Structure 1
Amino acid sequence: MALPLPPGLTPPETAFLCEMEMVTVIPRQRLEGLNLLGGPTPPLHPPHRTPLPFWLALLLKRQRRANILPPPWLSPPSLSSILDLEKKTPSFSPPPPLPAHTTTSPPFLPSATADAPPDALPYHWLELGEMLLEAASDDIPEPDNVRRLMRDLREVRMAKMRAGVNVLEGGREVNLNGVGGMEVSEGRAFIGGVVDGLRKIGASKEMSRREREAEERENGIGGGDEEEDEDDGMDT
């Protein structure tokens, strides 16, 4: 019997969607454009920069036909600045601003190209950074430092997510503005477990309250009868 699918996107599915992001490549040889389902890709002419889907850029990188330009936010100065902001504020760092006169929204923004803003983490920052470090670490300046900063950012932001669920007990909402796709996928089980636990606690408290009120009503009625019996005995 097939097991039920978990709600929402799993981490592998989120990483698969990340491969549709647009990145910037520097071709190492001339290649004609391809007719893809999402539209034709531009021809590659070294050394001109060209935007390509991430999955295609990874394929060309593994074939040594192109180098991938990391987005500006995937650099030690930018990651250090974002990490300092994350440590200073209880909220998450703001996502990249929406481009003017656009009908698209995250995660379908050009937030991983060479023209992306340097001071904001996009929706797929975690999975895109990890895949770039794995497949194109030679294209990233100071890859070991970048890897360390990304690990620190992940720990700080996950700690914020865990701390944020404390407001659920008071009936308030968790503010997840600026949280990335992989962070949501990884934290869904934890947050969902907390919500289910709070629901069970609330149901148990409600049941205890009703039982206590019923017991108090019964004791009140019994106490009134005893007082009436005592008064009747004193009159006789």
Structure 2
Amino acid sequence: MALPSPPGLTPLEIAFLCEMEMVTVVPRQRLEGLELLGGPTKPLHPPHRTSLPLWLALLLKRQRRANILPPPWFHPTALTSILDFERSNTDQFTPPPPLPPSPPGTATTSPPFLSSSTADAPDGALPYHWLELGEILLDAAPDDIVDPDAVRRLMRDLREVRMAKMRAGVAVLDGSGMVGLKGVGGMEVSEGRAFISGVVDGLRKIGASREQALREREAEEGDDAYEDIAENAGEMDL
């Protein structure tokens, strides 16, 4: 008998969605455009840059046909600034990249169909798939990254600071009933889902027990008041 799947996406599923992110590549060889489900890709002509889905960029990287150009936020200087922001702002996360304006009557583009991981991305914002994208690039293209050891260390520190901030934010659930997760990435949501869900379930049980105790106390007070009224009525009759 198969066990029920946990709620939400698994880390492997989130990493799979991350591979649809658009990244910038510098081709080493000429390659004609490909017809993909998401639309045709542009022909590759060295040394002109172009944007490709991450899964295709990784394939060309393994075949030594292209180099991957990391996004600006993946530079050690940018990561250091983002880490300083996270440490100095305990009540908010690094804001995500702004959404591009969409024509009236059309749906707003959402990850992974944004250029938040290309060479044109802003350097002071973290995209939705920042964590899994960084791990993939560090594993598959360390030679294309400036100081990969420093980047790996900064990514680890940034992940720990943000996860600690998520856990600390759960403490406000008892008072306001919600916690702000604006700017939190997909992998971070998956990792913190079990912890946050457990806290919410615990608070829900505590609230239910408090409500039940309040109802029982009100019922006892109502019975006592009824008995007092009955006694007073008997005395008046006498």
| TM-score (norm. length: structure 2) | 0.90
Percent of pairs identical after alignment?
Answer: 74
* 1:190 equivalent in alignment to 2:191: no
- Match for 2:134: what amino acid? G
Distance of aligned partners of 1:9 and 1:131 in 2 relative to their CA distance in 1, 3 Å threshold: same
Q: How does 1:1-236 map to 2 (within 5 A)?
A: 1-89=1-89, 90-101=91-102, 103-221=108-226
Q: Distance in 1 between matches of 2:141 and 2:52?
A: 15
Q: Deviations over 1:11-54 (max 9, x none)?
A: 11111000000101111112222111111111211211111100
Deviation beyond 3 Å, 4+ runs, structure 1:
100-103, 216-229
Asked which structure has the greater CA Rg, the reply is 1
- Match for 1:68: what amino acid? I
* Count of matched residue pairs: 232
CA contact (8 A) 2:79 2:151 kept: yes
Q: Distance in 2 between matches of 1:159 and 1:38?
A: 37
CA contact (8 A) 2:21 2:111 kept: no
Unmatched tracts of structure 1, length 5 or more:
none
Q: Deviations over 1:100-132 (max 9, x none)?
A: 446413342101111111111011100000000
Q: Distance in 2 between matches of 1:101 and 1:139?
A: 33
Distance apart, 1:223 and its partner CA: 6.2
- Match for 1:163: what amino acid? A
SS at match of 2:52: strand
Q: Distance in 2 between matches of 1:40 and 1:221?
A: 80
- Match for 2:220: what amino acid? E
Q: Distance in 2 between matches of 1:117 and 1:206?
A: 49
Q: Distance in 1 between matches of 2:160 and 2:23?
A: 26
| TM-score (norm. length: structure 1) | 0.90
Unmatched tracts of structure 2, length 5 or more:
none
Q: Distance in 2 between matches of 1:208 and 1:107?
A: 48
SS at match of 2:7: coil
SS at match of 1:68: strand
- Match for 1:55: what amino acid? W
Q: Distance in 2 between matches of 1:226 and 1:104?
A: 72
